[in-house]
Structure 1
Amino acid sequence: MIQPIMHDPLFLAQKSAPATPEDAPVARDLLDTLTAHADGCVGMAANMIGVLKRIIAVEAEDGGYLVLFNPVILKKSGLYEAEEGCLSLEGVRKTKRWQSIKVQYQTMDGKPRIKTFTGWTAQIIQHEIDHCDGILI
Structure 2
Amino acid sequence: MVKEIMRDPMFLQRKSVDAGPMDMPTAIDLLDTLKANFEGCVGMAANMIGVSKRIIAISDNRKYILMFNPEIIKGYGEYETEEGCLSLDGERKTKRFKTIQVKYTTDKFKQTTRTFTGFTAQIIQHEVDHCNGILI
Shorter-chain TM band = over 0.9
Structure with more of its chain in strand, by fraction: 2
SS of the equivalent of 1:4 reads coil
Match of 1:81 in 2: 80
Match of 1:6 in 2: 6
Question: What RMSD over aligned residues (CA atoms) do the two structures have, in Å?
Answer: 0.6
- Give 1:1-80 correspondences, 5 Å limit: 1-61=1-61, 63-80=62-79
User: In 2, distance between residues paired with 1:27 and 1:116?
Assistant: 22
SS of the equivalent of 1:69 reads strand
- C-alpha displacement of 1:110: 1.7
- C-alpha displacement of 1:109: 3.0
Identity across aligned pairs (percent)? 62
The alignment covers a number of residue pairs equal to 136
User: In 2, distance between residues paired with 1:64 and 1:109?
Assistant: 16
User: In 2, distance between residues paired with 1:100 and 1:92?
Assistant: 22
Unaligned runs of 5+ in 1: none
- C-alpha displacement of 1:31: 0.5
Unaligned runs of 5+ in 2: none
SS of the equivalent of 1:14 reads coil
